[in-house]
Amino acid sequence: MSYKKYRMKDLFKKIIVEKQEWLKSVSLTKRDYSIENKANYVFTGLRRAGKSHFLYQIIQRHVSKNNVEDILMINFEDERLLEVDSSNLHEIIDAYFELYNKQPLVFMDEIQTIQHWQIFARRLADDGLRVFITGSNAEMLSSEIASSLGGRFVNKEILPLSFKEYLSFLKFDYSKTTRYSTAKYELYQHYEEYLSYGGFPEIINFQNKREYLSSVYQKLFYGDLITRFKVTNSKVLKLLVKKLAESVNNVTSVNRIKNLIKSTGVSIGNNTLFDYLSYLESSYLIASISNYHSKFSEKETNKKYYFLDNGILNLFLIDQDTKLLENLVYIQLRRLGCSIYFLKRKLEVDFYVPENNWLIQVSYRISDKETFDREVKSLYQSMKEFDLKKAYLITYDEEKTIRTELGVIKAVPLWLWLLEGFEA
């Protein structure tokens, strides 16, 4: 055995034992995710969304009933592992076997930093080990996982904290009676912060939340976008992100985006624009939905774009509460695993979820008669089209029941829907 291999294996042993010691004492706030008992998983999602936290939660559940020595966990962003490449990966398992002489549960955090990691992960699964993996960028896309891991792994997206999880992390106890108690004032404070600054788990520890969000975005922009995709014109990509943020809650065509960028004195070709949009979606910064009524070609060129964290979106906005409200509704629908569309013919409905028959309009305020009439009219027409008896109007804090000859439109505050869902 060469000195380098000997040294690397010893380093793996050191890291394995260090992590086991740390896992004995770590205290976690539980997140609302479930997994199958025997499946292998790849957890993907936006940088800092809490993927590692979820790994620790799985480990903690196992350790509560079993031995911490069953756990083999490696974080590949550990600076001591900068020299590791795919040729070293098998030594991780060798190191564990030399320590304990049994099969481990394998947890590999941010393994996408190692080229050809898929081959190693697939071999572990073929050898009968149970494996959990996290990653933050395009190399961890579900389509690539399906092809490169041959169906041996389940892909699960981890989004930033839900509002319910956010309150839990803040040690705030919510119940259905909270809205009638003095605790409602604290609830509204948390609601306002969540709407403005999003759900990154670490954000609750920062007084200057905007500064924290800016640092996360800079890391995502230069690390997950510029470096990984070898983008040569960072100015155009910055402008694209800004224009997409300003266009949230509007139907946006590719030509409109191109013209918005062109209006700043910068030109961009269609192919480059499509590439950049793909990079942004691949890195989990943005997502898009299409018009349910559109033909295929229009579905690809006319979309609505949303950000996967409200705090990142808010970095680019000034007094745009309506955009933040609608963006958060999109994130929650995505969290629920829905198929999401918007509806647009003469009138527009913000969200349509076919499998649940949900028609959802989002309006910050409905106290203004003109706004109220417009939103209700859009929902009424779609209720008629789809023969539905119920639709929803999500507001900042207004609540009411609107009865029509077709059925009921329920106006629901966003915070209430986030915590309790729609009425059955």
Task: Tell me which H or E stretch contains 417.
Answer: helix 414-420
Together in a domain, 120 and 133: yes
- On whether residue 68 sits in a domain, the answer given is yes
Q: Rounded mean pLDDT of 186-211?
A: 97
pTM of the model: 0.93
pLDDT tens per residue, range 5-60 = 568 899 999 999 999 999 888 888 888 888 888 899 988 888 899 998 889 999 98
CATH number at residue 308: 1.10.10.10
Which range, of 85-94, 183-192, 386-395, 405-414, averages the lowest pLDDT?
85-94
Helices 321-335 & 184-197, crossing angle to 10 degrees? 90
Q: Rounded mean pLDDT of 90-117?
A: 92
What domain count does the chain have? 4
Q: Rounded mean pLDDT of 398-403?
A: 96
Going by C-alpha positions, the residue among 157, 159, 168 that lies closest to residue 199 is: 159
Instruction: Looking at 64-107, list the stretches that DSSP marks H as alpha helix, in order from N- to C-terminal side.
Output: 90-100
Q: Are 69 and 20 in contact (CB under 8 A)?
A: yes
Q: Which tops the pLDDT comparison, 298 or 282?
A: 282
State yes or no: pLDDT of 3 exceeds 60: no
pLDDT tens per residue, range 217-227 = 999 999 889 98
Q: Are 362 and 398 in contact (CB under 8 A)?
A: no
Q: What percent of the chain has pLDDT over 90?
A: 69
SS3 327: helix
Which range, of 163-167, 300-304, 365-369, 394-398, averages the lowest pLDDT?
300-304
Together in a domain, 121 and 177: no
pLDDT tens per residue, range 386-396 = 999 999 999 99
Going by C-alpha positions, the residue among 106, 78, 112, 79 that lies closest to residue 94 is: 106
Together in a domain, 361 and 217: no
189: domain range? 161-205
Together in a domain, 191 and 238: no
The pair of structure tokens assigned to 201 is: 């788990």
Give the residue carrying structure tokens 């609540």: 399
pLDDT tens per residue, range 351-382 = 999 999 999 999 999 999 999 999 999 999 99
Q: What is the pLDDT of residue 144?
A: 60
| CB contact set of 414 (below 8 Å; sequence gap of 6+) | 191, 195, 325, 328, 329, 394, 395, 396
Q: What is the pLDDT of residue 370?
A: 95
Together in a domain, 179 and 263: no
- Alpha-carbon dihedral of residues 256, 281, 222, 311, nearest 10 degrees? 90
C-alpha span between 392 and 409 (Å, rounded) = 5
Q: Output the DSSP codes for 161-221.
A: PPHHHHHHHTT----TTGGGSTTHHHHHHHHHHHHHH---GGGGG-SSHHHHHHHHHHHII
Together in a domain, 255 and 185: no
Together in a domain, 269 and 382: no
Task: Tell me which H or E stretch contains 390.
Answer: strand 390-395
- On whether residue 332 sits in a domain, the answer given is no
Together in a domain, 347 and 397: yes
Q: Are 107 and 71 in contact (CB under 8 A)?
A: yes
C-alpha span between 276 and 239 (Å, rounded) = 11
Mean pLDDT of the chain: 91
The sheet that has 341-344: what strands, in order across it? 252-253, 302-307, 286-291, 341-344, 348-353, 358-362, 390-395, 408-413, 400-403
Confidence of residue 64 (pLDDT cuts 50, 70, 90): confident
- On whether residue 364 sits in a domain, the answer given is yes
State yes or no: pLDDT of 150 exceeds 60: yes
State yes or no: pLDDT of 329 exceeds 90: yes
72 phi and psi angles, rounded to 5 deg:
-115, 110
Q: What is the pLDDT of residue 137?
A: 59
Going by C-alpha positions, the residue among 104, 33, 110, 120 that lies closest to residue 67 is: 104
Together in a domain, 213 and 201: no
Together in a domain, 184 and 149: no
Which range, of 37-51, 61-75, 133-147, 166-180, averages the lowest pLDDT?
133-147
Together in a domain, 100 and 33: yes
Confidence of residue 272 (pLDDT cuts 50, 70, 90): very high
Together in a domain, 302 and 221: yes
Q: Rounded mean pLDDT of 388-406?
A: 97
Q: What percent of the chain has pLDDT over 70?
A: 95
Confidence of residue 300 (pLDDT cuts 50, 70, 90): confident
Q: Cα angle at 282 between 73 and 110, to 5 degrees?
A: 10
- On whether residue 78 sits in a domain, the answer given is yes
- On whether residue 333 sits in a domain, the answer given is no
pLDDT tens per residue, range 234-269 = 999 999 999 999 999 999 998 999 998 989 888 888
| CB contact set of 310 (below 8 Å; sequence gap of 6+) | 194, 195, 196, 197, 198, 199, 324, 327, 328, 331
Q: What is the pLDDT of residue 44?
A: 87
Q: Which tops the pLDDT comparison, 417 or 270?
A: 417
- Domain boundary at 249, 284, 318, which? 318
Q: What is the pLDDT of residue 2?
A: 52
Q: What is the pLDDT of residue 26?
A: 83
